[in-house]
Amino acid sequence: MNKYLILIVVIVTSFSCVTKMEDIDNLTSELKASIEVATNVEILYSDSAQIKVKISGPTMNRYLDRNNPREEFPNGVHVEFFGPDGQIESWLDADYALRETKKSRIITRQNVNLYNEKNEKLETWELIWDEKGDRVYTDRFVMITQPERGDTSYGYGFVANNDFTRFEIQKNSGKMNIDDITKELNK
């Protein structure tokens, strides 16, 4: 009798441990995700044999997970945006960046600074570059300094083109030169 009871208990517990193969595959995929580590990295984006963007950083970790491929710059990143003439129009520095391959975007974080040819400067904690939309944006607090105009603008939420020549702050406040505002309104 005891032999049969033990056999029944073993059979019941064996069937209760059944797991979907998909769950096992996902778990092993995460555990076995390959990581490539590179130092002194430089990545070039081009279109019609013309360089559009250059990304560089001291360290890049490339995660080859099929479900979530990504590239991480844990020790900082420098990004340069080039114009049609091949000259740098704007550049970005940040302490950290994560490129989400499937979403075609790069999220930069911590001490993010974006500059343009006029030496205008955006400072924020997080800025996202949409690779396909050729724009940068954030919903975080931003500060923009425009030395040529003597303006400093603050706000939450920001959208700009890659060369940082046209931008919009969603919730704006700041100090602006009234003469420049009058000139803009009279155009």
Average pLDDT over residues 158-180: 77
CATH assignment of the domain containing 106: 2.60.450.10
- Residue 181 is predicted with a pLDDT of 57
15: tokens are: 């069937």
Q: Is the pLDDT of residue 16 over 60?
A: no
User: What digits encode the pLDDT tens for the residues 47-65?
Assistant: 888 888 899 999 999 998 8
Flag whether 132 is in a domain.
yes
Average pLDDT over residues 28-34: 59
- φ, ψ for residue 28 (rounded to 5)? -70, -30
pLDDT above 90 as % of the chain: 43
Q: Is the pLDDT of residue 122 over 90?
A: yes
Average pLDDT, the chain: 82
The whole domain housing 160 covers: 34-185
Flag whether 19 is in a domain.
no
Length of the chain: 187
Average pLDDT over residues 107-133: 92
Flag whether 170 is in a domain.
yes
Nearest to 80 by CA among 104, 56, 108, 107: 56
Flag whether 16 is in a domain.
no
Flag whether 22 is in a domain.
no
33: tokens are: 């995700």
pLDDT above 70 as % of the chain: 74
Residue 39 makes CB contacts below 8 A (sequence gap 6+) with 58, 59, 60
Q: Is the pLDDT of residue 14 over 80?
A: no
* Structural domains in the chain (count): 1
pLDDT-derived band at 46 (thresholds 50, 70, 90) equals confident
Flag whether 20 is in a domain.
no
Of these ranges, 21-30, 56-65, 148-157, the one predicted with the greatest mean pLDDT is: 56-65
Flag whether 148 is in a domain.
yes
CA distance 95 to 86: 26
DSSP strand pairing (77-82 vs 50-63): antiparallel
DSSP, res 14: H
Flag whether 53 is in a domain.
yes
- Residue 65 is predicted with a pLDDT of 86
